[in-house]
Amino acid sequence: MALVNPHGGGSLKPLLLEGNALKTELARAQSLPKLKVSSREAGDIIMLGIGGFTPLDGFMTHGDWEGVCDGMKMANGLFWPIPVTLSTNDESIKAGSEIALVDGETGEILATMKVTEKYGIDKAHECMEVYKTTDLEHPGVKMVMAQGKHNLAGPIKVLSTGGFKEKYGEQFMTPAETRAKFEQMGWKRVAAFQTRNPMHRSHEYLAKIAIETMDGVLIHSLLGNLKPGDIPAEVRSEAIEVLTKNYFAPNTTIQAGYPLDMRYAGPREALLHALFRQNYGCSHLIVGRDHAGVGDFYGPFDAQKIFDEIPHDALETKNMNIDWTFWCKKCGGMASQRTCPHTKDDRILLSGTKVRSMLSEGQDLPVEFSRPEVAKVLQKYYAGLSAEQNVKVELNGHSAA
């Protein structure tokens, strides 16, 4: 038995150039018309660069976009749950144009692209199919609605990892690197624990259930952009570090991160999370409560149910569903709604708002809710925020993914 195959069944397909090819293309890129890309698009480019979106070779065509929206299938039949598209308002870019894609924030050239198709889309249709809503309060919908008028399709050559390697060091692992690491550890059955929040005991429990029955867990943090007020990646990373050091057995976890922005597409994004974890070599994705959700846009277990609705062979990486988890006083231990017969009153449940206010005031969290070492890291972070910033911080205490 070996690791799961990259999506599509072939080899990993990183689009990042190296060595002389990179040098030459970077030089050529200077002279090309430049298109500033959004943060979401930049994350997608880097993901394409490191092979996380294998086997895509660039941004999607209209045929792909339509198939993905309506049936989670690209024009060539490949399973794909969320459009990976690039947009512009620039009328001068046409099919046939060669352009350079530039980070909208830093101005760095991230990639070159040969535009093969320019097309319009019904944004509301994409939102309804993918996000199940056109409500602009939904941050993913807001991103789609803010896109340019035209989508551009075509293969890209990636020229940078956008500073992630520099910023996050060893934690920014490519799919080839996680696969090599898993093989070195002798791991075959590996669960990815997707996280965009610090890990409290409820999240530790999810990861440990996976460890009890598999070879190991990839604690895989989103390093791209989040909602305003979410805990920054470096703080999360430090908190996870003290957690694994003190409460996990050696050689059962690997902490790494990936460059995407959250889309908050709930069920569809859970499928994307599984898809790219397949590229990273993970056999399973832990899917908890309200995975990749936001607000009340999705039912708490919609992201689990959608895995039953896709063809059996769509993905090699499978979902590992776990119910809402908590400490129950009557159970005298961590449990979930699947394993605890008691009532809400017996459980230690703290809202995100409550956790934030306790941490901001330097209060200790109950040891049944959070490990003291983890709480300390978060207290330190909140203590460093100005009072004004503190008000804006909105910590989601229930959902990790």
Told to check if 348 binds its own copies by CB under 8 A, we report no
Residue 48, judged by CB atoms within 10 A of its CB (0-12, 13-18, 19+), counts as buried
Q: Please, what is the minimum distance in Å from the beta carbon of residue 2 to its own copies?
A: 13
Interface residue with its own copies among 124, 136, 367, 385 (CB under 8 A) is 367
Told to check if 336 binds its own copies by CB under 8 A, we report yes
Cα–Cα separations (whole angstroms), residue 289 to 293, 306, 396 = 9, 13, 12
Tokens of 16: 């990042």
Residue 163: DSSP 8-state: T
Told to check if 346 binds its own copies by CB under 8 A, we report no
Strands (E), 142-210: 150-158, 190-195
Told to check if 285 binds its own copies by CB under 8 A, we report no
Q: Are 382 and 359 in contact (CB under 8 A)?
A: yes
Q: Which is nearer to its own copies, 77 or 332 (CB)?
A: 332
Given 151, 197, 319, 396, which residue is catalytic? 197
Per-residue contact flags (x/-) with its own copies for residues 191 to 210, judged by CB under 8 A: -----------------xx-
- The CA distance from 105 to 108, in Å, is 8
Q: Which is nearer to its own copies, 339 or 353 (CB)?
A: 339
Closest C-alpha to 214, from 280, 289, 283 = 283
Strand 190-195 and strand 216-222: pairing?
parallel
Candidates 43-51, 132-140, 328-336, 344-352 — which segment interacts with its own copies by CB under 8 A?
A: 328-336
Told to check if 301 binds its own copies by CB under 8 A, we report no
Told to check if 368 binds its own copies by CB under 8 A, we report yes
Interface residue with its own copies among 282, 322, 355, 378 (CB under 8 A) is 322
Told to check if 310 binds its own copies by CB under 8 A, we report no
Residue 251: active-site member: no
Residue 3: DSSP 8-state: P
Q: Are 274 and 319 in contact (CB under 8 A)?
A: yes
- The CA distance from 261 to 125, in Å, is 21
Residue 76: active-site member: no
Candidates 29-37, 140-148, 318-326, 351-359 — which segment interacts with its own copies by CB under 8 A?
A: 318-326
Binding site for its own copies (CB under 8 A): 208-209, 211-213, 246-250, 252, 320-323, 331-341, 367-368
| Catalytic center residues | 196-197
